[in-house]
Structure 1
C-alpha cells in the first residue's frame, strides 16, 4: 500500500488530501483499477476524520480520477477513462495559479449570471433561494454546510442558463471554486466575509429574479472581484460600458 504519511493541517484539508492522492495517481504509484484503502485506513494514515477523507474522495471522483462503488470502495480510473483537462489542487497553492482560476471564473460566471437572468425557471430561482437560505441562517452560515450552499448557488445559477455547457464547466471547476471559498474564509475575518458574501449573492439573485441581464452580470462581476480582493488577488475585468464601447 502506498505510504501517504500524515498531512499537515493547512487551510483546506480535503483539497490537500485529494491533491496528495492525485499526485500518487499521476506518478503511477496508484495504478488504474487499483482500489484505495478504506476511509478508515486513509483517515488514520492522514490523521484526519473520515468525513474529511470522504470529501477528498468525492473531489477526486468529480475530477474523473476515481470511481466509487457503493459498499465496495473507491478505485483508480484507468488512464483512458480520465478527463483530458483537469485542475490539480496543488497548483492552487501557487498565488498566480489561484489568480488564474479567478480570471477563468470571471467570463464564465459573469455571462452565466446574465443568461440565467434571461432564461431561468421558477425551479432555478427556488434553488438559488434555497442556497441563500442556508447561507443566511445563523446556525449554518459558519459551517461546511454554508460553504456547500455557496457552491450550490453558483451551480444553480449555471443551470439557470438552460445551457448544458455552462453547467458542465461550472461543475468542472466547482470543486476548485469551493476551495477558493474555504481559503477566503480561512484568511479573513469570518463574520465580515460571510456577511459580504451573502450580500453579494443576494444582489445576484435579485437581478436574476428581475430578469435584468446587465445587472446580473454586474453583480456577479462585483462578487468575483470582491472575493479576489479579499484574498489579495488582482483580477482584470473590463466593465460592461467598456465592452459596449469595444463592440461599437
Structure 2
C-alpha cells in the first residue's frame, strides 16, 4: 500500500491521531476490506513515531472494529459486513457536555470491570496489569509513554474480566478519554498529578490482586472520580 500518511505533530495525542488517519483510509476505501496494513515498522517510519505508538493506534482501530489482527501475520482491514458501528470522532468530544457524558458512562463500566477482574483474573493477566503499572512508574512516566501505559493498564483490567464486551467498550472509551489525561496533565503540576494517578492505580491493582471485588471497585471509583475532578467535570453519582 502506497498511502502517504505523512508525519504528524508531536503536540497531538499520537495514537488517536494515527488511528484516525488510518481509519479514514479504511472507511474511504483506500485500504480495501481484507487488505493487510503495512507492518508496524513501516507505519512507525511513515508517521515518524515509535512502534509502541503504532500498536496503540492499531489497538484503537481493533476496538472500533475497523481492523483485525492475526497473531504472527499482521493487521488487516475488517470486511465491511463484519464492521461494528461503534465510532466516535475525536472532534465530537470537543463539546464539554458530550465529553462529560462519555466520562460518566466510563465510571460504572470500569468499576464493574475492576470487581470482575478481582474475581476472575489469572496469574498471567495480573502480570499484564503489573507490567502496565511498572511502565507507568518508570522513567517514562513524565512522557507520552506514561499515557500509553495508563491506557494499557485499563485494558488489562478489562481483559481480566473474561468478558470480551468489557474489553471492547472500555478499550473504545479509554482511547477517547486519553484526551482527558493530556488535559489533566496540562492543567496541573505534572509531578503532583502523575504521582497521585500512580497511587490510585496501585490501589486498584492491589484490590484486584487480593481478589477483593469491593476494594477493587471502590479503588477504581475513587480513581475515576478523582480524574473527573482534575478536569473540573461534574459527575452525578448516587
TM-score of the two chains, using structure 2 as the length reference: 0.75
Aligned partner of 2:235 in structure 1 is 235
Q: Structure 1: any 5+ residue segments left out of the alignment?
A: 44-48, 239-248
Structure 2 counterparts to residues 31-42 of structure 1, below 5 A: 32-33=32-33, 39=43
| Distance in 2 of aligned mates of 1:83 and 1:19 | 16
CA RMSD after TM alignment: 3.6
| Distance in 1 of aligned mates of 2:20 and 2:89 | 7
Q: Structure 2: any 5+ residue segments left out of the alignment?
A: none
1:176 aligns with 2:176: yes
Residues 33-63 of structure 1: CA deviation (Å, up to 9, x unaligned): 59999858964xxxxx344984685244542
Structure of higher CA gyration radius: 1
| Distance in 1 of aligned mates of 2:4 and 2:130 | 44
Residues 87-122 of structure 1: CA deviation (Å, up to 9, x unaligned): 222212221222122111111000111122222232
Taking a change above 3 Å as real, the CA distance of residues 147 and 56 of structure 1, as seen in their structure-2 partners, is closer
Aligned partner of 2:166 in structure 1 is 166
What is the total number of aligned residue pairs between the two structures?
Answer: 231
Give, in angstroms, the shift of residue 167 of structure 1: 2.4
Taking a change above 3 Å as real, the CA distance of residues 109 and 161 of structure 1, as seen in their structure-2 partners, is same
Taking a change above 3 Å as real, the CA distance of residues 6 and 94 of structure 1, as seen in their structure-2 partners, is farther
Structure 2 counterparts to residues 181-200 of structure 1, below 5 A: 181-200=181-200
1:202 aligns with 2:202: yes
Does the 8 A contact of 1:117 with 1:213 survive in 2?
yes
TM-score of the two chains, using structure 1 as the length reference: 0.73
| Distance in 2 of aligned mates of 1:157 and 1:81 | 26
- SS at 2:141's partner residue? coil
| Distance in 2 of aligned mates of 1:201 and 1:149 | 11
